[in-house]
Amino acid sequence: MDFKESGFMYAIAACVIGFVVIESVYFIVKAWRAGRKLGISKETLKNTVVSSAVFSIAPALSILTTVIVLASALGIVLPWIRLSVIGNLAYETVASESMLEVMGSSLSTPITEPKQFGAVAWVMTLGTSFALVLVPIFCKGIHRRVGKVVNKSEKNSKMADVLSAAAFIGIIAAFIARAIYGKTADGVGDAGFMSIATLITAVIASFLLELLCEKCRLQKLQPFAMPLAMFLAMGMAVLLTQVVPEQIRAFTWWNQM
Amino acid sequence: MAKRKEKMSPYYESVHRAGRIWTLGALGVLLGVPVAICLRFNAWPEMDAVFKALVKVLPIYWGTAVIEVLTYTPMLGAGGTYLAFVTGNITNLKMPCALNALENAKTRAGREEGEVISTISIGVSAITTTVIITAGVLLFAPFLGTLTDPDSVFSPAFTYILPALFGALGAGYLRKHWRLSILPVVAGVVVLLFSPTMAVGTLLFVTLVVSIGGALLMLKLKWV
């Protein structure tokens, strides 16, 4: 049996995934109890659970894709472990590729040597673990400062609303800008016709669904409007690939020359 | 005389205490994976080879980690931050998921209600992701490979998942706060004109600073 997919590796995966699930359940229960004490309705809390679960389906499938891509070289278990704890789509691919390059190999070739496998596991781990050192040190301090700013601005409700919205928009703007004029390291998903068309579809679909919820008083649909708009935009990307001529849909800012 | 620190609520205090314990536990579990692999297969790697690979990735990863901790912590709240940094995939999943939940619950990060909603949202997202990845690995791995293969008819849906996700998420804000939205998007595009491959973690820091700076200016000029 391939050592990368041995019972031992599955046992490690079970421990790591068990840890993540238990921690998540612990924080959910703690927050739920605090929420009830604060007077947040059960319906709001339930809506949060359901809409967050629905929201996570498509990105989770995308993460699963990375697991499958990495599996050709690393076996299925190590990428599964890495992307269940702290992992990130981009980090894991770059880290493993860097280590394999040093050893004269690449992600397209399966690892056969346990030493190579161990080396990749070390680089993936050490590359991404720094945040777990920073968070316990700085989270409380940052949180205390944010609390002070919020308390101050709560006195001026308009300022609080505007700054809160500006912070959200600041984050979203980075991704919108990348869809308009971003270039990826591997050239897959560069900004161009397809990324902009998908972005516009998502915006319009979200507008229309929000409008539908408001006009027809479909409050139960409200939490699903955003994930639904996302799925519609993903569907549009598939449709456009089928119906738009190649020279148009393949257009990106980087391949027009 | 030293300034006295303002006391946090008992809930926040207990979240920070638990969060620190869980995060350090996660660090132990995380480091335990390569140690266990090397012990079991008697496969300790050559340190200079590992060092060569780390030199390439550490400056980017550790620099990004500092920016991410500074940027995401105020947005995700205490419980959300501890949970999100352990479970990963923050930018492409946990953060937008929490923002969506806060928007639906009509609250904001920094309030105790926002803290609760954000934590529940990130916890549920982590469990959903774990279930989907586990089911995918155990049951659907061969099938999913075909689904997401570059030649598959469904492949574009996954290639353009981020524009779909953030377009849908951003629409509500664009509608309600269009004046606030123009400046950070333009700033992001201008930065990308000069550095098109800039990592999203760094770009995000720029757009966030521009967005908040612009909002303060607009408030002063009474444009919003």
Residue-wise pLDDT tens digits, A79-125: 899 888 877 666 777 788 778 878 887 766 778 889 889 999 999 89
Does position B2 have pLDDT exceeding 60, yes or no? Answer: no
Residue B204, min C-alpha distance to chain A (Å): 5
More confident: A127 or B141: A127
Give me the count of residues in chain A: 257
CB–CB of B120/B101 below 8 Å?
yes
**What residues in B contact A138, CB-CB < 8 Å?**
69-70, 73
pLDDT in tens, A173-201: 988 999 999 987 767 788 999 999 999 99
Instruction: With CB atoms and an 8 Å threshold, state whether A178 touches B192.
Output: yes
Taking the Cβ of residue B63 and every Cβ of chain A, the question of whether any pair is shorter than 8 Å is answered with no
Judged by DSSP in three states, B131 sits in: helix
pLDDT in tens, A222-248: 777 888 898 899 999 999 999 999 999
Residue A3 is given by DSSP the state G
**Residue-level pLDDT at B1:** 44
Does position B211 have pLDDT exceeding 90, yes or no? Answer: yes
Taking the Cβ of residue A248 and every Cβ of chain B, the question of whether any pair is shorter than 8 Å is answered with no
Q: What residue in A sits closest to B188 (Cα-Cα)?
A: A177
Residue B92 is given by DSSP the state I
CA distance B129 to A53: 8
Backbone angles phi, psi at A105, to 5 degrees: -125, -170
pLDDT in tens, A31-72: 999 999 999 999 999 999 999 999 998 888 878 877 877 787
Packing angle between helix B161-176 and helix A193-215, nearest 10 degrees?
Answer: 50
* Rounded (to 5) percent helix, strand, coil in chain B: 80, 0, 15
Taking the Cβ of residue B68 and every Cβ of chain A, the question of whether any pair is shorter than 8 Å is answered with yes
Region B37-43 average pLDDT: 92
Among A21-35, A66-80, A170-184, B73-87, which stretch is predicted with the lowest mean pLDDT? A66-80
Smallest Cβ–Cβ distance between A16 and the set B33, B200, B212 belongs to: B33
More confident: A64 or B26: B26
Other beta carbons within 10 angstroms of residue A167's beta carbon come to 21
What is the distance, to the nearest Å, from the Cα of residue A143 to the centroid of all Cα atoms in its chain? 23
Taking the Cβ of residue A25 and every Cβ of chain B, the question of whether any pair is shorter than 8 Å is answered with yes
Residue boundaries of the structural domains of chain A: 1-128
Report how many Cβ contacts below 8 Å link chain A to chain B: 561
| ipTM of model | 0.80
Instruction: With CB atoms and an 8 Å threshold, state whether B168 touches A233.
Output: yes
Average pLDDT of the residues of chain A: 86
Instruction: With CB atoms and an 8 Å threshold, state whether A175 touches B15.
Output: no
**What residues in B contact A77, CB-CB < 8 Å?**
137
Chain B, window 118-177: residues with a beta carbon less than 8 angstroms from a chain A beta carbon: 119-130, 132-134, 136-137, 141, 144-145, 148, 150, 153-154, 156-177
Region B51-63 average pLDDT: 82
Average pLDDT of the residues of chain B: 87
**Residue-level pLDDT at A151:** 65
Single out the residue of A226, A202, A172 nearest to residue B183, CA to CA: A172
List the structure tokens of B160. 């353009």
pLDDT in tens, A165-174: 888 788 889 8
CA distance B49 to A123: 10
**Residue-level pLDDT at A53:** 95
CA distance A64 to B115: 29
